[in-house]
Amino acid sequence: MVSTEQSCWFIRKVICWRAVASIAWAVLLLPPITLVFVIISKFSFLHPVQTISECLYLLTSASGIFSFILLCGVILIVGFLHLEYYTVIPMIACSKIALLGQLLHPRQFINSLVHCFMGVIVAWCCAVTMGLRYETLGYPCTESDGHPQMCLNEYHLILLLAGAFVGFSHSLLGVIYNMNYVSFHTVQQYKYLRFKRCLPLVVKCSATQALYSVRNYIVMYLFLGKCPFFMNKISVHPLDSIAGLLDLSLLYHLWSSATFLLLTWNITLLLFRIFVTEVYSFPVQSSFTEDSHQCLPKVLTEKQPMILKFLALQDLALLSQHSPSRRCEVFSLSQPGGHPHNWNAISKECLSLLTDLTQRLVAYHDTVATNGRAKSLSSGSERKTSSETSVTSGTEDLMSPRPVFLMKTPASVFARSVAGTPQSPLTSLFTPDLDSPFASPALRRLTAPVDQCSPWYGTVQSPHIMRRAPKLWSTSTDSQVNGSPTPSPSSVPSPKQEPSKPSFLAQFLQNRKEQVLKPCHKLPEASSQALFADSQAHIWALEGLSYLVQASFSEDQFGVVQTTLPSILSCMLVLQEAVDRHFKLPHASSKPVRSTSSMGDSTYKTLRFALRATLKTAIYRITTTFGDHLNAVQISAEHRKRLQQFLEYKE
C-alpha cells in the first residue's frame, strides 16, 4: 500500500506538473513559430510591406484565431501522448521481426491513427493560413452544358493528405528511432540553456525529415493520388502527372507546411525531455513517519515507476559528489538503536543492481558460448557445473586462438568402436559421437568397413611400423636410392574422396530458407545494446557508491562503510571481469555512429562504453583513496590479485 501511495504521489505531484509546464511553454512558443511560418509562406520580395500587413491581418482574423486554437489543441494532445508513451529504458528490437511486431502493435496502431488525424488538422490550418489556391476543398464551377456544380480543389486535398502522411511517418519513425526514450544528461544545465543549445538541432531535424517525407509522399501520390471519392469532377489543374506534381510553388508549400508541423511537435518533445529529466532532490531522512516513503533510501527500493528510481539514483550520484551535509545524513546512525539504516538501505540497493547486471552478463555469455557447439566427444568425461566456469571456458574457446594438432587415427579404431567391441581408455578418446548433428561426413566415412587393401586392415603387430611410419609412405624412387625394397601396392594410400556437392535444388531451397528466416535472426549489435539498455542506473549506482566510499575515509565517524567495503570491492571486481569478457565478443567493442538527422536519442547505444569507463574509474577512486589499507580487507585471493593491479595502476 505504501508503494502504491508513493508512486501515485510522485506521478501526481512531480511528473504530471512537469509535463503540464512543458506543454504550457510549447503553447507559449506557438505564436512566434506561427508568425515565422506565415511570413515564410506569404513573403514576396517585390511587395515586402504588403506581405507584412497581410500577415498581421491574417493572424488577427477570425479564421486565424480559430486555426491557432486548433493548433493549441494539437499541442495538448501531443504533450499527453508524450506523457503516456515516454520511457527511461529504450525498447530495442533485437531482430527485424521484433521491430515489425512493435510497429504492428495495437497500441502503436492507435498512436499512428491519432498522429494522422492531428496531421490533417495542422495541414488544414496551414492551408487556411496560406490562402489563395489552398484555402478551400471545393469551389463552384460550370459544366459544359452550363449547369453549376462543385469541383474538387486538388491543391487543398494534396495538402491535407500530406499532413496525414507526415503524421503517420512521424509516428513510425518514433518507434524505429526510439523517440519516446528520455535520457539523462551527464552535465547538469539550466533548462533555458539546454533548450537554447538543442533548438538549432531541432530545426535542422525538422527540415530534413520534412524534405524526405515530402519526397516519399510525392512518389506515393503519383501512383495512388487519383482517387476522388466524394467529388464528381477534378479541378482544372489536375495533379495526376509528373509535370503537375513538380510545381516548385507546390513543393515549397508542402515542405514548409511539413516543417512547421514537425517543428511544433519536436519542440514539444524537447521541452518534455528537459522538464521531466530535471534533477529532483529527495530527503535522506525525515522526522515524520508519514513522509518516510518520500526519503531517498525508501525510494531507491521501488521498482515502478522507473522514472522515480532513475531520478533517485541521479540524486544519489549528485549527493555523493557535491553535498557534504547530506553525506553526513547517509553515514549517520539511527536514534535510538544506533544502526546505520540509511547506509545499509542505499548500499544494499546499489549492490543489488550491480549483481543483477553481472548475472545478466554471465547468462548472456553462457548463451553465446554454448550456441551451436557440439557435444563433448567423450561420453564419460567430466562436465563443469558452475556457470562461471562454463562461461569462462566457453568464451576462451570462442575468442582465444589455439594451435591445431592433426592426429591421424586409424580407421579400424572407429570401426571397432562402432562394431560394439570394448573400448580401451585410449580408443575412447578418439571415438566421436556419430549421433551428434555436428558430426562431419569425414568421420562417418572413417567408420565405414575397412578395405582389405588398406594398410590398417587387421591388427598392427609390430611397433616398428609406427616408429618408421614416414618410410611406409615414401616413394619408390627414394626406396631404390636407400636400397630398401619396393613397397607393396597395399602400402600406398588410396586417394582421398571428395565430398559430393549438393544438388542445385538443395542449394536453392537452402538459400530460400535462409532468406525467410533472416528477419528472425537476432542482431548481435542490438542484443548487446539491449543488455545494457538500463545501464544509466548502474552508472549512477557505481558513482554513488564510489564517491560515498571515498568520502567515508574522512567523513565516516562511526565506520559504517567499512563493514560493507569487502562486498563493494568484490561486487565491482566481479562486474568488471564480466564486462571485460563481454567486450571480447564480436560486435561488442564497435562504437555505433550517432545519427543527427532525427529526434531519436541514440545515447543508449553507447551506454556499455560509459559503464565500462565508470566502473574502472570507480575502482580507481577507491584504491587511490585507501591505498595500502585495502590489504587488510577480507576478500578472496583472486580478487586481491585483481585489486593489486589497480593499486599498481596496471589496469
**pLDDT, tens digit, for every residue of 236-265?**
566 666 776 777 888 998 999 999 999 999
CA distances from 358 to 352, 532, 574 (A): 10, 11, 7
- Mean pLDDT over each residue of the chain, to the nearest integer: 76
The residue written with cell numbers 574502472 in the block is 616
Domain that residue 361 falls in:
304-369+523-592+600-648
Tell me, what's the pLDDT at 560?
85
Whether 431 maps to a domain, the answer reads no
- What gap in Å lies between CA 3 and CA 309, rounded to an integer? 12
**Do both 33 and 84 map to the same domain?**
yes
In a shared domain, residues 317 and 264: no
Query: Which of 34-38, 267-271, 295-299 holds the top average pLDDT?
Result: 267-271
Question: Residue 471 above 60 pLDDT?
Answer: no
**Grid coordinates belonging to 42:** 506569404
Count of domains in the chain?
2
Among residues 277, 293, 328, which one ends one of the domains?
A: 277
User: Which one has a higher pLDDT value, 375 or 531?
Assistant: 531
Say if CB 354 and CB 575 are below 8 A apart.
Answer: yes
Burial class (CB in 10 A: 0-12, 13-18, 19+), 231: middle
Q: What's the confidence (pLDDT) of residue 224?
A: 76
Tell me: do 195 and 255 sit in the same domain: yes
- Tell whether 194 and 251 lie within a shared domain: yes
Q: Please report where in the chains the cell 511553454 appears, as a residue.
A: 25
Residue 598 or residue 83, greater confidence: 83
Say whether both 312 and 241 belong to one domain. no
What residues contact 430, with CB distance under 8 A and at least 6 apart? 407, 409, 413, 414
Helix-strand-coil split of the chain, %, nearest 5: 65, 0, 35
Higher-confidence residue of 130 and 34: namely 34
Q: In terms of DSSP H, where are the helices of 400-485?
A: 411-419, 425-429, 441-446, 464-467, 469-472, 476-482
My answer on whether 106 and 234 are in the same domain is yes
DSSP symbol at 135: S
Give the number of residues written for the chain.
Answer: 651
- pLDDT 10s digits, 543-589: 999 999 998 888 878 888 888 898 999 999 999 999 998 888 877 77
In a domain, 131, yes or no: yes
Does one domain contain both 65 and 154?
Answer: yes
More confident residue, 338 or 89: 89
Binning pLDDT at 50, 70 and 90, where does residue 508 land?
low
In a shared domain, residues 98 and 29: yes
Confidence at residue 339, expressed as pLDDT on a 0 to 100 scale: 81
Most trustworthy range by pLDDT among 115-124, 137-146, 509-518, 519-528: 115-124
- Residue 40's nearest CA partner among 267, 213, 257 is 257
The pLDDT confidence band at residue 484, using thresholds 50, 70 and 90, is very low
At residue 512, the pLDDT reads 64
Residue 78 lies in a domain: yes
Give the per-residue pLDDT at 479.
Answer: 42
**Are residues 94 and 131 part of one domain?**
yes
